[in-house]
Each structure stands twice: as structure tokens, then as C-alpha cells.
A and B are shown apart, each in its own frame.
Chain A
Amino acid sequence: MIFPWIWRSLPGPAWVRTATLLVVGAAVVWVLFEYGFPWFSITFGIQDQSVGA
């Protein structure tokens, strides 16, 4: 469904598609590590250690 659709949508031969996926994947991981996860951790109080005193 999703994965075959992504593969079919990408242009070029197989190695170009693979390279594209690697670059896009690395970019997604970077955005998550630098922005997504810090935001999530704060917003949803994961391992929050404060008490309202």
C-alpha cells in the first residue's frame, strides 16, 4: 500500500530510488531528532520531574 506506492512514485532506476529513499530517510530522522522529539518530550511531559509546589 504505502511502501509500494512510494516506490512506484519515485523516478529513475532502482539505485536512484534507493539513494533518494536513504537521503529522505536521513532528513526525516534529523528533523525528528532536532525538532520533533524535543518538542514531543516537552509538550507531553515524558519523564516530567517537577512537582507543583
Chain B
Amino acid sequence: MTSTLRYPGATAHAAGRDAGTRALALVGELMIIAGTVIGLFVLWQLFYTDVTAGREQARVLDSLPWAQVNAVRAPAASGEPGEPPVSVAINTIPPEAQLDPATAPVMKEPRHAATFATMYVPRWGIDYVKPISEGVTRYDVLDRLGIGHYPGTGMPGALGNFAISAHRTTYAKPFSRIDELMVGDALVIQTEDAWYVYRVTSHEIVLPTQVEVIAPVPDHPGRTPNDHYITLTSCHPRFSASHRYVVHGVLEYWSPTGAGVPPEIVEGASS
């Protein structure tokens, strides 16, 4: 059996090569193995992390009993292409229930890695909804749960700065299209108790060390906040970590849960 079935190179091997040639062959084979593993790592980083993190984030969303993800998912899922979507009875928040930011309720900061809010961004698609969790550590929050909240910064609706971060590329890339946000775009946050609708006011590209972007008054550390800010941070440029792309916004109104969903997430982004 062994005499009839042989690896093609076995003949030369059996004939005996000198030690130098054999060592060279070994080094070559090790390099082939190393190259394959590095290639696999690139495939994993670029594509497979999207698969695993996307799965995890969808599971987290479904586990939140108060999250009204169907408000944006249902219209997209129903109806044939080309036909108007079957209208799902979704009440939108009437103007009289869109309340002044000064009266906004602010929840207590939850424990690390707890998911406490969801985020809707019509500019990124009418069906865009992602969970927001406490903390900005990579392994347990950003790489798995998606959007993370900088500990110590304001919670949604707070007088100060509600600062969040997410991957620009890989790991389901929640902030992949952060550079497409325009002034006036809605950033909608839902917690168990309330909806918060922020509007984009500006963006900037900074170095990773410029942490003043998440100060209570963005870019002015030490100043006492006089408004209800939101700040989104992500890596820039894409596939790099050399800079940060930062988007600021302010709270336009809030509404308690039960009055409907913000019209912004049903109507979508204006062009």
C-alpha cells in the first residue's frame, strides 16, 4: 500500500537531500502556512466580524421588550417591490407631545455592557436601528454590541453631552456611513421611558487624542453645559484608526414612550 501511494515529492525525499536543502524546504513550508494564516486573518477581520457582530446585535435588539424596532422594520419587510408598502398602523408623535428639551428625563447610567437604548438614523436607511450599550471597551461592547456610550458622559436627554462611539469598518460597522450625515439630519434615540430626537449641527475630523470632543460642551472642556448635546465618534479614514470622525448634534424634542414613534424615523431622511 505504502509503496504504491506516494506523495509526488516523496521520491526525491526518499532519495535523500542534503541538510541545507531540507532546512530550506522546511522554512518554505512554514512560510506558506504563515501566509495562509495571515490571509485568513484578513478575511476574518474584513468579513467574518460583520457576520458575528451583526448576529449578536440583532439578537440584543430582539431581547429588548420595549424596543419598537418593528416601527422601522415592518414597512421594509412587507409589500412587493414596486408596490407601495402595506401600511402598518404606526402612530407618530403629534406636535403637542414633542416636548421641550429642558424637561427631558435622564436615566441613570447603567452597569458596564448593559444595553439601555436604541438608535435610529434615517439618513442611514429607513430600517437602520442599532442597540446602544454602556462602555467603549472593544471586546465586550464595541466588537459585539455595536454602539457604546462613553462612561461619565451624559445619558440621553442630559444637559451636557451624550457621547457614543462605534466601529467605522468591521464588526457590523454601525457608524460606517457617519460621513454622510448632514446638518439637520435626525438622530433618534429610544430608551425604555422616552424618545429623544437630536439634530446634527456639525462635524469635525480630529486626532484620537483630542478627547475634548466629548466634553459636556463639545470642544470646550470645563465649560458648564447650556444645551443637550449628542456626539458620535468613529474611526477615520475608513480601515484606519489614525483620525476620528466626529458628529455633533443638539436635542430638538423628547416624548414619553406611548405617544407614538417620532415621525422622523417613519418618513426617512430628506434628500
Interface, chain A (partner B; CB < 8 A)? 1-4, 7-8, 13-14, 29, 32-33, 37-38, 40-42, 46-51, 53
Tell which of A2, A7, A41, A51 touches B45, judged by Cβ atoms closer than 8 Å: A41
Chain A residues lying within 8 Å of B2, measured Cβ to Cβ, are 8
Q: Is the CB of A51 within 8 A of B208?
A: yes
Chain B residues lying within 8 Å of A40, measured Cβ to Cβ, are 41
Contacts A29-B40, A32-B37, A41-B45; A49 near B235 (Cβ below 8 A): yes
A14, B26: Cα distance in complex, Å: 23
Q: Is the CB of B209 within 8 A of A53?
A: yes
The count of A-to-B residue pairs whose CB atoms sit within 8 angstroms is 59
* Closest chain A CB from B146 CB (angstroms): 14
Q: Is the CB of A50 within 8 A of B136?
A: yes
Main secondary structure of the interface of B (DSSP, over half): helix
Q: Of residues A3, A13, A37, which shows the largest number of chain B Cβ atoms within 10 Å of its Cβ?
A: A37
* Closest chain B CB from A16 CB (angstroms): 11
List 14 A-B residue pairs with CB atoms under 8 Å apart, sorted by A's residue number: A2-B26, A2-B30, A3-B29, A4-B10, A14-B5, A37-B40, A37-B41, A38-B143, A41-B45, A42-B139, A49-B208, A49-B235, A50-B138, A53-B209
